[in-house]
Structure 1
């Protein structure tokens, strides 16, 4: 009987897991959330990520295949605070999947499970840039938030797949132990540089810098998501001259010439950092934060 059912499912195009249970299908907007889902879910989950780790997550080309993935998803994980507002909502509507709608166990808005910075409220006028009145959405680069997100993923997976609860809890404990050990190591390495003044291209690093004990003094963008004019860059350099800025930080998808110009004029170091798991060859969430810490400490040592 089982063999005939197995053959029928294969004929209909369904994959039957070798372990005998149907895997929880997780779709993550960003690779970091996908990496955390794999940490917790192990071989009980099948994870698909939408945005590439080397592209600006504000601006993602919505492929038709994304809607297909969302239609089959048991759990959707996304940054929230309107980070994906320009591309994810239409895909969710097209997918027409009630399992991943707000209020369901399969809907995880990361912005609701971590403390947000820069919350302003009010309405949004996109003509003035990627303004996020609900708060800065780049939360995952703070490893404390990485743990909070992992806890939330565990809760969702247990609600969706109660039979796997013990597995998810054990995986969470293991991840929390490994991350905790690393966090102590990272803090010790960064401690000599506490108070370091940093300029960012985009306010992607607020949470990491706060956790590291650094000071974010300015952004090269005059407004989030608005490319700086020459006059903006000149004004920034004049305002920060003599302020003791040590680092000017950006991701690879932002204009490196602007970053180098500001760094050279201020006698600081220009530093390109990976902001998402998979960028710069990183293989997991802990590896991502390790790479960031290594780059930052290496630039200051």
Structure 2
């Protein structure tokens, strides 16, 4: 512990000394946020994530090594909505770094920048692991990733003014990549991403494109998922409300009887009947959960278990924010096309 305090103390002295640093040091909680920061900062940032690999971002312990990394950070970026409730505050407190404390410019909850879904009217432990502020899986809507990139560019520019224009330009380029991946380069080139997202968010995308005779030009993630709007699915955990809201899938039930609780035999039996009655083809879950119950349901129905990355790094194909969606959408569309 004495060694840890020495490391932390040295980090804060270095950070407060006024010495120019080569890079903005950013620590994020999730790898999705780290991927977005890297796109915005490029070689002007040093970024790492607390959560790496196929790990559950809800269930991380506050380790001294995380506190040491936080001690060096100029910017802490978390999702918020109590996703990191078990470890965020202990890591920040243990770092003794005043730059990243809540309320400073060096502290960001990305969920504050986006529209939050599933905000409960009331909270009871009897309902399982419910998040009082709403569902925290906000990164699984690419529109939210777009907003987060733009807002991070602003915040990083405030912390590193000489590079503010660079961060803004990098964010513009990254947003364009998201837009191209979502709608296809042809439509983005003609109408611009802002207009297409406005039509999409207003429920007018197909109407606008049809009226212009351009529906056949719709490609990308939206084009791939469009034929499957309304398809019923089962998911393991309540990880997917932002994704299904964006792409029009319909979650009819969850393998968890309540968030964070293991499936029970009675609930699994109920899910099997729902799958049969609704013609569900897809049971969707992340690799951080066992497929034992999903496989059991699939063995007694016509549904297929599809394991998809819920975070960057969950699978080898999900190496960054855009390839995360590439991987998810490829696996879902293949399963629903059967």
Is TM > 0.5 for Structure 1 vs Structure 2? yes
Q: Could you list the per-position Cα deviations for residues 84-140 of structure 1 after superposition, in whole angstroms to 9, with x for gaps in the alignment?
A: 111222111111222112221111101211111110154563x75321111000110
What is the alpha-carbon distance in structure 2 between the residues aligned to residue 299 and residue 267 of structure 1? 11
- SS of residue paired to 2:278: coil
- Matched residue, 2:336: 300
What is the alpha-carbon distance in structure 2 between the residues aligned to residue 194 and residue 176 of structure 1? 25
- Matched residue, 2:249: 214
- Matched residue, 2:167: 168
What is the alpha-carbon distance in structure 2 between the residues aligned to residue 51 and residue 124 of structure 1? 28
Gaps in structure 1 of 5+ consecutive residues: 1-13, 15-19
- Matched residue, 1:198: 233
Using the TM superposition, give the Cα deviation of residue 263 of structure 1 relative to its aligned residue in structure 2, in angstroms.
2.6
- Matched residue, 2:62: 62
What is the alpha-carbon distance in structure 1 between the residues aligned to residue 123 and residue 304 of structure 2? 37
Q: Does 1:224 align with 2:223?
A: no
- SS of residue paired to 1:279: coil
Q: CA RMSD in A?
A: 1.9
Superposition map of 1:97-136 within 5 A: 97-120=97-120, 122-123=122-123, 125=125, 128-136=127-135
Using the TM superposition, give the Cα deviation of residue 232 of structure 1 relative to its aligned residue in structure 2, in angstroms.
1.6
Superposition map of 1:1-301 within 5 A: 21-120=21-120, 122-123=122-123, 125=125, 128-184=127-183, 185-281=220-316, 282-301=318-337
What is the alpha-carbon distance in structure 1 between the residues aligned to residue 176 and residue 99 of structure 2? 31
What is the alpha-carbon distance in structure 1 between the residues aligned to residue 66 and residue 133 of structure 2? 25
Q: How many residues align?
A: 284
Contact 1:30 1:53 in 2 (8 A): no
Q: Could you list the per-position Cα deviations for residues 51-73 of structure 1 after superposition, in whole angstroms to 9, with x for gaps in the alignment?
A: 12301111113221101111111
Using the TM superposition, give the Cα deviation of residue 236 of structure 1 relative to its aligned residue in structure 2, in angstroms.
2.2
What is the alpha-carbon distance in structure 1 between the residues aligned to residue 176 and residue 71 of structure 2? 35
What is the alpha-carbon distance in structure 1 between the residues aligned to residue 63 and residue 102 of structure 2? 22
What is the alpha-carbon distance in structure 1 between the residues aligned to residue 95 and residue 251 of structure 2? 40
Distance 1:124 1:82, change over 3 A: farther
Runs of 4+ residues over 4 Å off in structure 1: 121-124
- SS of residue paired to 2:119: coil
Using the TM superposition, give the Cα deviation of residue 157 of structure 1 relative to its aligned residue in structure 2, in angstroms.
0.2
- SS of residue paired to 1:280: coil
- SS of residue paired to 2:169: helix
Contact 2:234 2:252 in 1 (8 A): yes
